[in-house]
Structure 1
């Protein structure tokens, strides 16, 4: 690996606190952790549409009430959008039809999240899922270790549907420090047999309260060994919370990243991260 570059790709007006994104057909589908909408942004026309995910959705839901949609993944024609599980009202999984452009199901994952907490001995106040991947047979969930226990955990569930019986495995990771603070998972995406993940260092020991952002990094996990291949700091000041594949070639991969600005401002910057594989 020779080079990693980061550059501003576009700015979307109308979306605040972006926490996850998915690129398809020259459009970006974006979620915000304080919003009840899925946003559809056409890159060419800059047109922005809103798709409701909850009853009576709004663009800025109070922190104590928000569903805290933190991760988004897809398989075939379905998007899966997950609440973080960091409080009892953040346990929803939304299924969204990419062809019909509408929500098709709402699922309560409280029981599944409780099993995951028990399996890995994570206290409720330290449970905070911020990344998800589904490949049709396996689900991967990333617990952000920004609580007191610093539990950066990758959960692997072997099941086609989350309401079926499943096999559960977990791996814990000690991620690098940035400016003396341990970084923690914020999102991930699967490319071939590798997981590319984002992690951010934030000066807080709470999964609920925000802290000073100290920087973000990119890393890669080998699916076969579940070991980290590399990590690389990509910013000293940005809190990147979403990653999606933009272009994938033999010699390089281009990702699009979204930034959570932790404010009520309805503006989200999208960055392009290029990794040279030669």
Structure 2
């Protein structure tokens, strides 16, 4: 088991975002795209965290009441950059309403039906909860977050060619599914870690974020005791973990073209805007066992 005791990385806040519940982010050139799990929009910032614009993903408005909003939100938890600079936002799949995605190409938005793929994945996991993803070579990797009853952290490997074909038909299909790779993560202060995002550094190295949240539900939030940044090798084995300070619930990870990481956190409070962080002393050798 990897040791987290002395491997701290210090987060430095760059900006306060114009949304709460930030759940994913992607860098494309000088643009930083940010998604929130309790909103119907995609926001664009510059790399310093200055707000630029907003794109509506789904029409309508969500209720202000917290319980109703949670029940009705699409729960967009993953944001992927696709070949050709397209963007794909994915719902978590943790409820029937959360099986929608949105494909963004050249400023236009198309709703994507995720239920064919998610239905197949729901047969493999006790509690489906897709929380991150990244295009990785010829595959698209999805992060299954193990904060439900089965504590099933895993990587879902999809054939990228099939995914791109499916998207043109307005869906993601089970035909894209290649295999599922379970990930064993340690506990943080007695609370199990669970995946929250995936991102690839410019070098091609694959990283993930995970948080320790005191809940056994993929729907209900719990107290967060901390988050980590981890590294995977070419065989998708965890080979490095670093604890992040201060204690925040890190939900999203992306990389500048120069290799500098960007991270967003969710306070699970609609009154608290999400912070955008970086790591000043990060290097690919820092994330160690």
Q: Report TM bin, short chain.
A: 0.7 to 0.9
Instruction: Give the structure 2 partner of residue 211 of structure 1.
Output: 222
Instruction: Give the structure 1 partner of residue 4 of structure 2.
Output: none
Distance 1:255 1:90 in 2: 28
Instruction: Give the structure 1 partner of residue 156 of structure 2.
Output: 155
Question: Structure 1's 3 and 260: CA in aligned 2 closer, same or farther, altered over 3 A?
Answer: closer
Instruction: Give the structure 2 partner of residue 276 of structure 1.
Output: 283
Deviation at 1:254, TM superposition (A): 1.5
Question: Structure 1's 86 and 137: CA in aligned 2 closer, same or farther, altered over 3 A?
Answer: same
Aligned residues: CA RMSD: 2.2
Deviation at 1:236, TM superposition (A): 5.2
Alignment TM-score, normalising by the size of structure 2: 0.84
Q: Number of paired residues?
A: 264
Deviation at 1:167, TM superposition (A): 4.7
What secondary structure sits across from 2:39 in the alignment? coil
Say whether 1:122 aligns with 2:130: no
Instruction: Give the structure 2 partner of residue 37 of structure 1.
Output: 41
Question: Structure 1's 63 and 3: CA in aligned 2 closer, same or farther, altered over 3 A?
Answer: closer
Instruction: Give the structure 2 partner of residue 83 of structure 1.
Output: 91
Distance 2:207 2:93 in 1: 22
Candidates 68, 72, 78, aligned match of 2:75 = 68
Deviation at 1:47, TM superposition (A): 3.5
Greater fraction of residues in strand = 1
Deviation at 1:59, TM superposition (A): 9.1
What secondary structure sits across from 1:62 in the alignment? helix
Alignment TM-score, normalising by the size of structure 1: 0.88
Question: Structure 1's 43 and 166: CA in aligned 2 closer, same or farther, altered over 3 A?
Answer: closer
Deviation at 1:127, TM superposition (A): 0.9
Deviation at 1:22, TM superposition (A): 1.3
Question: Structure 1's 45 and 242: CA in aligned 2 closer, same or farther, altered over 3 A?
Answer: closer
Unaligned runs of 5+ in 1: none
Residues 203 and 211 in structure 1, CA contact (< 8 A), matched pair in contact too = yes
Deviation at 1:4, TM superposition (A): 4.1
Residues 49 and 276 in structure 2, CA contact (< 8 A), matched pair in contact too = no
Give every structure 1 segment of 4 or more consecutive aligned residues whose post-TM-superposition deviation is greater than 6 Å.
none
Residues 133 and 189 in structure 1, CA contact (< 8 A), matched pair in contact too = yes
What secondary structure sits across from 1:49 in the alignment? strand
Distance 1:193 1:35 in 2: 31
What secondary structure sits across from 1:207 in the alignment? coil
Distance 1:78 1:28 in 2: 13
Distance 1:170 1:136 in 2: 17
Deviation at 1:147, TM superposition (A): 0.7
Greater fraction of residues in helix = 2
Residues 257 and 272 in structure 1, CA contact (< 8 A), matched pair in contact too = yes
Residues 145 and 153 in structure 2, CA contact (< 8 A), matched pair in contact too = yes
What secondary structure sits across from 1:63 in the alignment? helix
Deviation at 1:228, TM superposition (A): 1.0
Residues 26 and 34 in structure 2, CA contact (< 8 A), matched pair in contact too = yes
Deviation at 1:112, TM superposition (A): 0.4
Residues 85 and 113 in structure 1, CA contact (< 8 A), matched pair in contact too = yes
Distance 2:98 2:244 in 1: 30
